[in-house]
Amino acid sequence: MISRGFVNRVRAQAAYCRRAGSPLTAAILDGAAEDLEQGGPTAALLGPLVDDPAGSLPPLRFTAALHRIVLERRAPALALHYPSVGGTPGDVWPAAREVVAEHLDLLAELVRNPVQTNEVGRSTALLGGLLSVVRQTGLPVRLLEVGASAGLNLLFDRYAHAVADDAVLGDPASPVRLLAPWTGQLPAYDVPLEVVERLGCDPAPLDPTSAADRLTLTSCVWADQVVRFERLRGALQIAAAAPPRVERSSGSAFLERELAAPREGVVTVVWHSVVRQYLGRVERERVSRVLDAAGARAGARTPLVHLTLEPEHLEDSSTPFQVRSTLWPGGQLRVLADCEAHGPPVRWR
C-alpha cells in the first residue's frame, strides 16, 4: 500500500505543473496518483521511491522517464499526446498507464535518474542580476556555477534576450530567443559586461555533445511546453559547437578550491538556479560555510557575489521563486526579482 503522504505529493506536483502551464504533465500525474491508490502498475513502479527525499522530485522523475520513452519512439500511442514529437494533448492517462505496464522494468531504471532540467530560461533572470552586480562593482566578471548540469546557463551571453523594444542583450542572431522576459522596474541594461572566466561544477555533469545526455536533458522538459523545448534545442546547438567547462565535483569542494584566495581586479560571482533542493543538508551547510569564509576575505578590489534563483522557501516549489544577490565585503543581501521556476516572466523590484 502506497502511503497517503506520497500520493499527496504526486497530486501537489500535478497542481503545480498545472499552475506552471503544463496541463499534460498535470494530467499524467493526476492519473498516476489515482493509479497509486488503486494499486495499479504505477504503484509497482513508484513504490520503491516513497522514501526518497521530496526535493529529489520522484513525480517529475516519473514524467521524465515517460517522456524519454516517447522520444525514443518506444510508445507510439502515448506520443500522439506529446507536442514535443508533434502530438496533440488529449486523454493522456490511459495511454500512459499502458506504457507503464508494458515497460515497467525499463521505467524502474529510468525513474532513479535525477531530474536534470538545465533550463535556459533561467539565464535571463541571472543575467539581470549579473548586470546589477557589474553596475555596483564596475569590474569584469569571473563566473562560477554550482549545479551546472550541461553548463547551458554559463553561455547566457550567447542567447538573445529581447528585454525591451530597442534592446536585445547577448547575441541578436542566436537560435535561442527570450522574448520580453522582463517586467517591472527593469535593471539598467546598458552596463558594459565582460566575462573573463566561466567554470561550472556538478556531481553528475552532462555533455552537450553526447546524444544520450542530450536525450536526458530533453526528456526533463515538460512535453507540452514547446517554447522551452525549442530553447533547449538551440542552446544544445550552441554548446555543442563550444562546450562550456563543467567539472565533476560537489559544490562545496569546487568552491573551496576556487575561492581559496581572492582574485584581484574581478568580481567573482557564484551563481546557481533551482539547485538547493537537490543538495543534502550537510552539503548545503558546507557550501554556506565556504561562501561565508570567502566573503570574509573579500575586499573592494576582490569582491564576491552569491547570485541565486531559488524558491523562497527550501524544498517547496509551490512558493515564489526569487532572484537574490549577496555582495561581499559587507554581506548585503538583496532580493532583486520574483520569477517562475523556469525563469520568465522575471518581475524586477
For residue 318, the model assigns a pLDDT of 61
Domain edge (last residue) among 110, 145, 174: 110
Q: What is the CATH number of the domain that holds 284?
A: 3.40.50
Domain check: are 91 and 134 in the same one? no
Domain check: are 193 and 289 in the same one? yes
Domain check: are 141 and 192 in the same one? yes
Q: Is the residue at 341 inside a domain?
A: yes
Domain check: are 42 and 174 in the same one? no
Q: Which residue has the cell 527525499?
A: 53
Positive or negative torsion for Cα 206, 208, 214, 217:
positive
CA–CA separation, 254 and 106 (whole Å) = 34
User: Cell digits for 184?
Assistant: 517591472
Domain edge (last residue) among 110, 134, 156: 110
Domain edge (last residue) among 65, 84, 110: 110
Domain check: are 138 and 271 in the same one? yes
Domain check: are 66 and 138 in the same one? no
Number of domains in the chain: 2
For residue 54, the model assigns a pLDDT of 85
Q: Is the residue at 294 inside a domain?
A: yes
Asked whether the beta carbons of 57 and 116 are under 8 A apart, the reply is no
Domain check: are 211 and 319 in the same one? yes
CA–CA separation, 227 and 76 (whole Å) = 23
Q: Is the residue at 129 inside a domain?
A: yes
Q: Is the residue at 117 inside a domain?
A: no
- The dihedrals phi and psi of 268, each to the nearest 5 degrees, come to -85, 120
Domain check: are 216 and 303 in the same one? yes
Range(s) of the domain holding residue 164: 122-348
Burial class of residue 337 (count of CB atoms within 10 Å of its CB; 0-12, 13-18, 19+): buried
Q: Is the residue at 327 inside a domain?
A: yes
Domain check: are 147 and 102 in the same one? no
Kindly report whether the global pTM for this prediction surpasses the value 0.95: no
Domain check: are 33 and 148 in the same one? no
pLDDT in tens, the chain (349 residues): 789 999 999 999 999 999 999 999 999 999 999 999 999 999 999 999 999 988 889 999 999 999 999 999 999 999 999 999 999 999 999 999 999 999 999 999 999 999 998 999 999 999 999 999 999 999 999 999 999 999 999 999 999 999 998 899 999 999 999 999 999 999 999 999 999 999 999 999 999 999 999 999 999 999 999 999 999 999 999 999 999 999 999 999 999 999 999 999 999 999 999 999 889 899 999 999 999 999 999 999 999 999 999 998 775 556 789 999 999 999 999 999 999 999 999 999 9
DSSP state of 315: T
Q: Is the residue at 189 inside a domain?
A: yes
User: Cell digits for 137?
Assistant: 562593482
Domain check: are 54 and 145 in the same one? no
Q: Say whether 286 sits in a helix, a strand or coil.
A: helix
Nearest one of 51, 189, 210 to 132, comparing CA atoms: 189
Q: Is the residue at 116 inside a domain?
A: no
Q: Is the residue at 268 inside a domain?
A: yes
Domain check: are 91 and 232 in the same one? no
